[in-house]
C-alpha cells in the first residue's frame, strides 16, 4: 500500500528558506513521477510542481507562483522526495502534500508551512 | 498557465442527483487531460474518487461517476447522502503541468 509521510514544515520568516521531505513506501518509488501540492488555510488545492523519474531525465516543472524559488529533487536510494523552498513569501503559507497523483493512490498527511514575521 | 473552472458551490437534496463540472480556459476538456476528481472533507486529506475521466476502484461509492459532458469533465452523484457533503476538486493534466480547479463546495440539504 502506498504510504507517503511529509515532514520539515514549520515557522519561517519572509525571505527565508525551508526544505520539506517526503518518505515514500509501498510502491516502486524510482519508477514514479512525484508531485508537491499545497493548500493555503481555508483555500483550495494548488499544484506546486513535479519531478519525473530518472528514466525520464528527472526533469522538473513548476507552477508560475513558485518557479525560480522552489526546487524539487529526489533520492531514489532512500525513497525520499524533497522540496527546497527559498525566498519564501507569506502567500506560501499552507499545508504541503506530496503525491504520486497516480490513479487512486492515497496522499500523505501533509506538513504545515507558516511564513510570517 | 491554464485556468480550470468549477462551480463554487452546489446544493443537492438527500437522495437527489447533482452534476459538478470542470472546464478549461484552453478549450474543451478531453480524455487527454486525464480528468481527476478528488473529495476533501473538513480536516481530512484529499481522496481521489475518479481518475482518467471515469475510472475508479472499489473504494469509490458506486453513486459517483465521471464523464465528459459538453466540453467539460463532469462528476455525477446519484442518490446523494449526508456523508457526501464535502469539497470536490477536479484536476487536469497539461503538458508539463497539472492544474486544480478552485473546488466545488457541495451541500446535502
What are B7-66's pLDDT values in tens digits?
A: 999 999 999 999 999 999 999 999 999 999 999 999 999 999 999 999 999 999 999 999
Cell readout for B95 is 503538458
Query: How far is B20 from A107, CA to CA, in rounded Å?
Result: 23
Nearest one of A34, A26, A108, A103 to B49, comparing CA atoms: A103
Q: Mean pLDDT over residues A56-82, rounded?
A: 97
Q: Give the three-class secondary structure for A54.
A: helix
Q: With b meaning 16 or more CB within 10 Å and e meaning fewer, what string describes B40-76?
A: beeeebbbbbbbebbebeeebeeebbbebeeebbbbb
With an 8 Å Cβ cutoff, the interface of chain A facing chain B consists of: 35, 37, 44-47, 50, 61, 63-64, 97, 101, 103-110
Phi–psi pair at A30, nearest 5 degrees: -70, -5
Query: How far is A38 from A103, CA to CA, in rounded Å?
Result: 19
Query: How far is A105 from A96, CA to CA, in rounded Å?
Result: 17
Cell readout for B97 is 503541468
Residues of B with CB below 8 A from A104's CB? Answer: 48, 51, 56-57, 59-60
Question: Considering chain A, what percentage of its residues have pLDDT values greater than 70?
Answer: 100
Classify strands B104-108 and B9-12 as parallel, antiparallel or unpaired: parallel
Q: Give the three-class secondary structure for A74.
A: strand
User: For chain B, how many residues are written?
Assistant: 109
The whole-number pLDDT of residue B96 equals 82
Q: Which residue of B has its CA nearest to A103?
A: B51
The whole-number pLDDT of residue A21 equals 98
> Cβ contact (<8 Å) for A104 and B51?
yes
> Cβ contact (<8 Å) for A44 and B36?
no
Helix (H) or strand (E) holding B56: none
Indicate if the pLDDT at residue B68 is higher than 90: yes
Cα→Cα distances B21→A12, B17, B104, B105, Å? 38, 13, 9, 12
* B 3-42 near A (Cβ less than 8 A): 36, 38, 40
The whole-number pLDDT of residue B22 equals 98
pLDDT tier at B1, thresholds 50, 70, 90: confident
Amino acid at each position: 500500500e502506498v504510504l507517503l509521510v511529509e515532514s520539515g514544515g514549520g515557522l519561517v520568516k519572509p525571505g527565508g528558506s525551508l526544505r520539506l521531505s517526503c518518505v515514500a513506501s509501498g510502491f516502486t518509488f524510482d519508477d514514479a513521477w512525484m508531485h508537491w501540492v499545497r493548500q493555503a488555510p481555508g483555500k483550495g488545492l494548488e499544484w506546486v510542481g513535479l519531478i519525473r523519474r530518472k528514466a525520464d531525465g528527472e526533469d522538473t516543472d513548476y507552477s508560475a507562483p513558485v518557479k525560480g524559488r522552489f526546487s524539487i529533487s529526489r533520492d531514489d536510494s532512500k525513497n525520499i522526495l524533497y522540496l527546497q523552498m527559498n525566498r519564501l513569501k507569506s502567500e506560501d503559507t499552507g499545508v504541503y502534500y506530496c503525491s504520486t497523483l497516480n490513479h487512486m493512490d492515497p496522499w500523505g498527511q501533509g506538513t504545515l508551512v507558516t511564513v510570517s514575521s | 498557465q491554464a485556468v480550470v473552472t468549477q462551480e463554487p458551490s452546489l446544493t443537492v437534496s438527500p437522495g437527489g442527483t447533482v452534476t459538478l463540472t470542470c472546464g478549461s480556459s484552453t478549450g474543451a476538456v478531453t480524455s487527454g487531460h486525464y480528468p481527476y476528481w478528488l473529495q476533501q472533507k473538513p480536516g481530512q486529506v484529499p481522496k481521489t474518487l475518479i481518475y482518467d475521466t471515469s475510472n475508479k476502484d472499489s473504494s469509490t461509492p458506486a453513486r459517483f461517476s465521471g464523464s465528459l459532458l459538453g466540453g467539460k469533465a463532469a462528476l455525477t452523484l446519484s442518490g446523494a447522502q449526508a456523508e457526501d457533503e464535502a469539497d470536490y476538486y477536479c484536476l487536469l493534466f497539461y503538458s508539463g503541468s497539472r492544474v486544480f480547479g478552485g473546488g466545488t463546495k457541495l451541500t446535502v440539504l
